[in-house]
Amino acid sequence: MPICQSCDHHWSWKTTFKKAFSFKRRMKCPNCKEVQYASTKSMRKSGIIGLFPAPIIIFSSMVLKLNLGVTILVAILILMVITITYPNTLELSNEEEPLW
């Protein structure tokens, strides 16, 4: 779980989930109210995790000749796993870091 770089407060899964899915890089710490940013490292990590499953789903549905319903179901399941585990990969930074 992310730790506030300002006050060392450990954000809960619920807090992180809510803040992360407001789709803003700026997130206020619930403890010290300081603005925190998703670190570049964690943004890259979540980008890779987010993009990685799509080609695998498409490829395996072609190889295994899965029907569309099964493919969609698998895609939804993977998306749910990514969504649920996303707060675990988030790291915070005091300053907005450039993406690259």
Q: Is 7 strand, coil or helix?
A: coil
The answer to whether 32 contacts Zn ion (rule: CB under 5 A) is: yes
The answer to whether 7 contacts Zn ion (rule: CB under 5 A) is: yes
The correct pick among 3, 6, 71, 82 for binding Zn ion (CB under 5 A) is 6
Identify the burial level of 53 via C-beta atoms within 10 angstroms of its C-beta, where 0-12 means exposed, 13-18 middle and 19 or more buried: middle
The answer to whether 9 contacts Zn ion (rule: CB under 5 A) is: yes
The answer to whether 31 contacts Zn ion (rule: CB under 5 A) is: yes
For residue 36, list its beta bridge partners: 27
Q: What residue ranges bind Zn ion (CB under 5 A)?
A: 4, 6-7, 9, 29, 31-32
